[in-house]
Structure 1
Amino acid sequence: MLPPPLRARLALIAVIAVLPVVVLGFMYAGHSQSGAVDRWFVQPTDDSVGQPWRGIALATDFLGEPAGAAVLVVAAVAACLLRRRPRAAVFVVAATGLTVVTATLLKFLVGRTIHGPENLSYPSGHTAFFTALALVAALLATGPLGLGRTAGALLVLGAALVAGIAMGWAQVALGAHYPTDILGGWCTAVAVVPVTGLLVDRVAVSGAWKRR
């Protein structure tokens, strides 16, 4: 699932991505307000984003909700199966699922909240999911497109950045997350997806070896 030319780079990026997740988690553990880093950015209130931008933000937010996320994952899995790529279908489910599970566990460990004690905010699960799905899609497209190391890396990281920025903007614009929650969610996906790809490849290779 990880193109060989990109494995070393993505593995290194995944390791580096863990650092901000941990650092920000310690910085904002148990907090219920924006921090110094958050105040570098504009902090919209619930009614400060007018139409049509609020509608766009809500539509983007829906793609990270359980129903919207399920539709995206099912569509991605169906596309993989139609192309007779069952391992890719497994990768889609495993990568997005493990990313969401990791983000959810981190929410309970860190305990940062927004708009009340019941709304755990760090890291942003919406951003983590959407970034993970974009990463998976880009990785699966790299091989068929015949991209080399540099072009493949640019596609993968570009897709992750676009997805993270789009969903991150929507979350901050709607007042659902702090900017540092977005960064934490993005880095969570960047850390989890390459590792998941390596595991899926390892299991597939191991299974093929055992069948010989």
Structure 2
Amino acid sequence: MTGRSAPAVLPPSLRVWLGPIAALAALVVVVLGVRFAGDSKPGMVDARIWAAVDGMGSPWRHVALATDFLGEPVGAATLVVATVTGCLLLRRPRAAVLVVVGAGMTVGTATLLKSLVGRTIHGADNLSYPSGHTAFLTALALVVALLATGRLGLGRTAGTSLVLAAALVAGAAMGWAQVALGAHYPTDVLGGWCTALAVIPATAWLVDRMADRVDRMADAGRWERR
């Protein structure tokens, strides 16, 4: 499926920067998780941001609900299918694999962390840290940005800027929606954003490693048949 000529989903030019960024993001996730473990109230920063977005009018609430839908099962599945289809049309099978595996790993990690951290909102049954919606949309934006970087042949600085900008826009949009709707604390949103930043580069590296191994095995098989 990957093919010998399939480009790397994690461009070599970005590995130097995305590795440390992923490590820093993972550290932020852990620090916030420890800080808010078992908590059920907003922190000082949470309360201030909540106060700033309180009283959102009807038009903006509709925007927030529409954005929130993108992280719901139906909306998320639609986005994944559309993105996978686009990757395959562009003949980027590794990117298609990363969309599915990366999104799954990101959401799975966020779900596991919710159980481990145990932070709640609006009742003991509503685990909140980190925000799975924010993690998902950020992860998808990261994959698309990595694909664009490879397609456009961007260098280290331009490529890293594009990837981080895409992650920031997606994370900010979904994060705002979650906070505005009262579904998450702002620090939950930050945790979800950092979860995607930590998981996607690592998953992309693993996808490339596995694909390269399959390619080498296929090459060896062709040589043996000659």
Q: Does structure 1 residue 15 correspond to structure 2 residue 23? A: yes
Q: Does structure 1 residue 30 correspond to structure 2 residue 30? A: no
Q: Deviations over 1:23-65 (max 9, x none)?
A: 11011111111012313423455xx221210000000000011
Residue identity in the other structure for 1:148? G
Query: Could you tell me which residue of structure 2 aligns to residue 39 of structure 1?
Result: 47
Residue identity in the other structure for 2:128? S
Q: Does structure 1 residue 93 correspond to structure 2 residue 103? A: no
- Of 98, 106, 112, which residue of structure 1 is paired with 2:119? 112
Cα offset, 1:123, TM superposition: 0.1
Larger Rg: 2
Q: Deviations over 1:59-105 (max 9, x none)?
A: 00000111100000000011111222222110110111100000000
Measure, in 2, the Cα distance between the counterparts of 1:10 and 1:53. Answer: 34
Query: Could you tell me which residue of structure 2 aligns to residue 79 of structure 1?
Result: 86
Cα offset, 1:162, TM superposition: 0.4
Query: Could you tell me which residue of structure 1 aligns to residue 169 of structure 2?
Result: 162
Q: Does structure 1 residue 121 correspond to structure 2 residue 142? A: no
Query: Could you tell me which residue of structure 2 aligns to residue 176 of structure 1?
Result: 183
Query: Could you tell me which residue of structure 1 aligns to residue 3 of structure 2?
Result: none
Q: Note the aligned Cα RMSD (angstroms).
A: 1.0
SS at match of 2:138: helix
- Of 138, 142, 145, which residue of structure 2 is paired with 1:138? 145
Preserved CA contact (<8 Å) 2:50 2:180: no
Number of residue pairs the alignment of both structures matches? 210
Cα offset, 1:122, TM superposition: 0.2
Measure, in 2, the Cα distance between the counterparts of 1:194 and 1:144. Answer: 17
Stretches of 4+ moved more than 2 A in 1?
Answer: 42-45
Measure, in 2, the Cα distance between the counterparts of 1:168 and 1:61. Answer: 9
Q: Deviations over 1:114-142 (max 9, x none)?
A: 01111110000000000000000000010
Structure 2: 5+ residue stretches without partners: 1-8, 221-226
TM-score of the aligned structures, taking structure 2 as reference length: 0.90
SS at match of 1:61: helix
Measure, in 2, the Cα distance between the counterparts of 1:76 and 1:132. Answer: 12
Residue identity in the other structure for 2:25? A
Overall identity of the aligned pairs, in % = 69
